[in-house]
Amino acid sequence: MHSSEHDAPGIEWRLSREEVVPFLRVPVDDRRTTPIEFPPPWPDRPWTFGVMVASSNGVVAWRRRGARDDPVRTILGGEDRPERIADRRLMRLLRSVGDVAIGAETVREEPKLVPTPQEPGDEPAPELYRFRTSRGLSYHPRTILYSLYGRLPIAHPVFHTPGLQPIVVTTHAGARELAARGVSATPAKLLVEALPDPAALARVHRRLHAELGVRYLACEGGQTVLHALHDARLLDEVFLTVTDVVIDDSAHEDLVKIFDFERERAELVAEGRIAPDSRYTFQRWRFRSR
Ligand SMILES: NC(=O)c1ccc[n+]([C@@H]2O[C@H](COP(=O)([O-])OP(=O)(O)OC[C@H]3O[C@@H](n4cnc5c(N)ncnc54)[C@H](OP(=O)(O)O)[C@@H]3O)[C@@H](O)[C@H]2O)c1
């Protein structure tokens, strides 16, 4: 059993086409045989990548029956599995690349989420923060929150963790709701556009690039926001962890699945496992190339 990140095996990327146009190389340690590389960001918008975990039959979420009905934990399977540790480490690495984006529903349903490489309770990761600050980035990634109606829980730690600058992407109605909820008492910055028009979302991403210097954006879901980004042609790729858990489609309400990447003509640019007999697959699906 691997009780810590330190002694758990890393992902061996057996297929990795990104080496063709490496621009940014994410630091690796001796546990990772293949570095993770990124192409350059777009000249006018951030390079945007999803970070998701799906069951072996593609399920990413469902409507919760209560606080203990957690789709993500169920999809990931057993607590101490080395695959699960590798998945968490990958997410922490991907948080060190640039800034992080999340949908309002994920914020509402995950009350403890603090999207930074070292969440409370995580093992220290000074090298990930050094990787950020050495490239001129803020210590914590900024948190970009997408909300049409502004129904965000202002008491959530994303609004109160020192140094974790929240940026809320919303509408005029959303801004009014947020004002009523007391957003001005938090450090949040608002970007207001006529969403959900895809052209307005594209404008938001141009503003993130031009006004706030966002170059790489890790969108940690949920699927609603990933679809909106994809419809606006803003989602460049998705890092997808496929677990060996099978979810019974009929056992849950409002079951949500990940993209059908092949039908969407996405290209599998990287694929890895932590061991040849591991039944988790780490995939990287590219929608747009650079
Ligand atoms: N498997 C995974 O890897 C994974 C990852 C993340 C989350 N999840 C799970 O997925 C569930 C939540 O996902 P979800 O798909 O329901 O919700 P979500 O994508 O997290 O958030 C949806 C919300 O985003 C806002 N929104 C929708 N369209 C938008 C647009 N075009 N522009 C700006 N904002 C927009 C709306 O906020 P308002 O309602 O405030 O207007 C909407 O309610 C949770 O159970 C979570 O735990 C799973």
30-44, 119-133, 189-203, 257-271: segment of lowest average pLDDT: 30-44
Handedness of CA 99, 164, 159, 171 (dihedral sign): negative
Angle between helices 223-231 and 198-212 (to 10 degrees): 90
Beta partners for residue 170, in sequence order: 192
Nearest residue CA, atom 31 of ligand 1? Answer: 196
β-strand pairing of 189-192 with 166-170: parallel
Residue with CA closest to ligand 1 atom 7? 222
pLDDT at position 116: 98
Atom of ligand 1 nearest to the CA of 225: 19
The string of pLDDT tens digits covering residues 227-248 is 999 999 999 999 999 999 999 9
* Predicted local distance difference test score (pLDDT) of residue 66: 87
Whether 208 shows a pLDDT value over 80: the answer reads yes
Cβ–ligand 1 distance for 72 under 6 Å, the answer yes
What's the pLDDT tens digit per position in 154-171?
999 999 999 999 999 999
Q: Which pLDDT score, from 0 to 100, does residue 200 have?
A: 98
Whether residue 209 has pLDDT greater than 80: yes
Residue 27's pLDDT band (boundaries 50, 70, 90)?
A: low
The Cα–Cα gap between 281 and 55 comes to 10
Q: Is residue 110 lining ligand 1, measured as CB closer than 6 Å?
A: yes
Confidence of residue 36 (pLDDT cuts 50, 70, 90): confident
Question: Would you place residue 55 in the very low, low, confident or very high pLDDT band (cuts 50, 70, 90)?
Answer: very high
H or E element, residue 208? helix 198-212
Q: How far is the CA of 92 from the centre of ligand 1 (A)?
A: 20
% of the chain residues with pLDDT over 90 = 79
pTM (predicted TM-score): 0.93
Mean pLDDT, the chain, integer? 91
Q: Write down the pLDDT at residue 72.
A: 94
pLDDT at 30 (0 to 100): 53
Q: Mapping DSSP to helix (H, G, I), strand (E, B) and coil, where does residue 216 land?
A: strand
CATH class (in words) of the domain with range 12-286? alpha beta
209: number of Cβ within 10 Å: 19
Residue 169 CA to ligand 1 centre (angstroms): 13
Whose tokens are 């469902």? That residue is 62
Cis peptide preceding 46, ω within 30 of 0: no
Domain coordinates of the chain in residue numbers? 12-286
- 13 — pLDDT class (breaks 50, 70, 90): confident
Whether 1 shows a pLDDT value over 50: the answer reads no
